[in-house]
Structure 1
Amino acid sequence: MATSASTKQHFMVYIPDRTDPGTLQRRLDLRSEHLERIRTLVTNETLKVVGPTLTPESVLPNAEQKMNGSLQVWEASSIEEVKKLVEDDIYYSGDVWDKEKIIIAPMILGHPK
């Protein structure tokens, strides 16, 4: 997909949470600050899709929904820009997300015409 540097593209970001015992509590403690920033990015139309991922057992009847990561779709000029946006999040600096396992990939949002 050839594009100029000034053209906005879409990027999918998958960020699993860390697996140490304190991760869920850190996530909950930092959630309001994280969500405040997310709301601004959605309003600015930089962040197109966002939400927590859940453990597989979370979909079972009457199961507790347990968050275990984040999925995001960004509109940006480059992977480097998206990486910076991810690193500016409190979940990144607050050791909620597993920094070694972040996946950022270009994508086509919706169906091509």
Structure 2
Amino acid sequence: MDYIDKTDNFATKTETRKLVSIDKFTDYVYSSTPSDHVLDDGKKNIRIWKSDTLPNTVVWNPKNIWDRFGLAQDEDKEYVCVEPGKVTDKVNLVPGAGWRCSMVLSAARA
């Protein structure tokens, strides 16, 4: 699956890992992602479902730049954001037109 690495001058790269782990400053925009994602930190699972109108998934964290986000120094170790989106192409709407998207979040203990 291809992604844009915003931490590396917006380079396009290919993700080869089946499970993505975050251990450094990360800001990736994944292309054509599945509609269902699961975040698992060993304590809890968070499931994200997104509509087909949101083809991308953005994964980022504030590692090493924690102060920019109002976090205490050690809080960045447990912070990751996974956001469905429509990032790589535009939605152009004429006046009166509409566009719909949706996502559902659910959490459970691991």
Q: So what's the TM-score if we normalise by structure 2? A: 0.28
Greater helix content: 1
Q: So what's the TM-score if we normalise by structure 1? A: 0.27
Larger relative contact order (CA 8 Å, sep ≥ 6): 1
